[in-house]
Amino acid sequence: MIVVVAPGQGSQTPGFLAPWLEDPAVRDRVAAWSDAIGVDLVAHGTTSDADTIRDTALAQPLIVAAGLVTADALLADGRRTLVGGVAGHSVGEFTAAAIAGVLAPSDAVALVAERGRAMADAATRTPTGMSAVLGGDQEALPAAIEAAGLSAANHNGGGQTVVAGRVEALAAFAAEPPAKARVVPLSVAGAFHTDFMAPAVDRVAPLAAAASVADPTLPIWTNADGSRVDDGRRFVDLMVRQIANPVHWDAVMDSFVAAGVTGIVELAPAGALVGLAKRAMRGTPAVAVKSPEDLPAAIDLLESAGAAA
């Protein structure tokens, strides 16, 4: 059973969309999304620098667009039938929702563009950010995070937790990290998945409620608690609430194990989720599809699972 996963914000790098746009049909599709949302995804995915695409309003639709074009290539020629399920990390849930048929791709891009703008605006109200905490005593970590005045925003598993809060609190936490832990600032511009994002929830919720939604045609797991969701409207509601609530990717990976997942394919801009799986799901084959050159290995993994079935 192979699952397809979509990464979240912070995974983008300059030019990461360029190799995908060499296909004229893909370039036209991304250009159409750009026109629809008023963001030049083609330019930002090819020539913009790291500081530019760090902007939440740009990064989020870029990441979802990249995931969708990767999924199209991966699942072409009937290979969608070989997929055992999908999940996305944070903004990657919009990619997963489109792949599973919960949202039309154009609606997913439009909604995530507004999500990005709303979260960027919410982030301007107070200087905040996020940092990854690597290693350390996982049982003692929650108390240390609370004592620092921070919140655990992403429970990523594999010994990684992302904390979020005011920039001065993050700096103090990094200066005196928990024992045996390393604190790494992330390239994001706000305290996502915390109460600081409540204004963004209020802004996105009406648009999500008005969107056309269908029940998933592939198994899909939610970041809220790692459970599988069979109701499309509930999944969209959970995605909106997730803007100001923690991501439980550790629970998603636990669900993968319980479901008998035997392999993982991560969509572009890939790498982060495969890295987490290597630590939390040891021995599970995983392929990160960063460019079209990685597609053959991912297709082989999918087709091997189909042959085994």
Q: Taking the CA of residue 3 as centre, how many other CA atoms within 13 Å lie in the half-sphere pointing to its CB?
A: 26
Domain boundary residue, one of 185, 219, 234: 185
Note whether 54 and 111 are same-domain residues: yes
The encoded tokens of residue 121 equal 């605006």
Clarify whether residues 283 and 206 are in a common domain: yes
pLDDT digits (tens, 9 = 90+) for 161-170: 999 999 999 9
- Structure confidence at residue 9 (pLDDT): 87
Q: Residue 59 is part of a domain; what is its CATH number?
A: 3.40.366.10
Out of 44, 89, 193, 248, pick the active-site residue: 193
Say yes or no: 84 and 214 in one domain.
yes
155 is catalytic: no
Claim to verify: residue 156 and residue 171 sit in the same structural domain: yes
**Tens digits of residue pLDDT in 2-41:** 999 999 988 899 999 999 999 999 999 999 999 999 999 9
- Whether residue 77 has pLDDT greater than 80: yes
Are 82 and 150 contained in the same domain?
Answer: no
Distance CA 224, CA 136 (A): 24
Same domain, residue pair 91 and 119:
yes
Tell me how far CA of residue 273 lies from CA of 149, 160, 212, in angstroms: 27, 11, 29
Question: Which is the catalytic residue, given 90, 131, 151, 255?
Answer: 90
In the chain, how many domains are there?
A: 2
What are the tokens at 220? Answer: 């899909």
Tell me which of 185, 214, 231 is where a domain ends.
Answer: 185
Query: Is 193 one of the catalytic residues?
Result: yes
Let me know whether 67 and 205 are in one domain. yes
Co-location of 216 and 300 in the same domain: yes
Report residue 86's pLDDT band, with 50, 70 and 90 as the boundaries.
very high
Give the integer Cα–Cα distance in Å for 182 and 177: 7
Q: ω into residue 269 within 30 of 0, thus cis?
A: yes
Q: Are residues 82 and 213 in the same domain?
A: yes
- Provide the edge-to-edge strand list for the sheet that holds 181-185: 151-157, 160-166, 128-135, 181-185
Per-residue model confidence as pLDDT tens digits over 240-286: 999 999 999 999 999 999 999 999 999 999 999 999 999 889 999 99
- The yes-or-no verdict on residue 308 having pLDDT over 80 is no
Cβ contacts of 140 within 8 Å, gap of 6 or more: 178, 179
The CATH number of the domain where 169 resides is what? Answer: 3.30.70.250
Mark whether 140 and 287 lie in a shared domain: no
Which range marks the domain in which residue 200 is found? 2-123+194-308
| Confidence band, pLDDT 50/70/90 cuts, at residue 137 | confident
Cβ–Cβ < 8 Å for 131, 183: yes
Domain boundary among 144, 162, 185: 185
Name the token pair of 210: 């008005």
pLDDT exceeds 70 at position 44: yes
Residues 157 and 93 in one domain: no
Give pLDDT, residue 186. 85
Q: Quick one: what percent of the chain has pLDDT higher than 70?
A: 99
* Contacts of residue 161, Cβ cutoff 8 Å, sequence gap at least 6: 132, 133, 138, 141, 145, 152, 154, 155
Mind listing the pLDDT tens digit for each residue in 146-190? Answer: 999 999 999 999 889 999 999 999 999 999 998 889 999 987 779
Whether residues 139 and 107 share a domain: the answer is no
- Note the pLDDT of residue 306: 63
pLDDT range class, residue 222, cuts 50, 70, 90:
very high
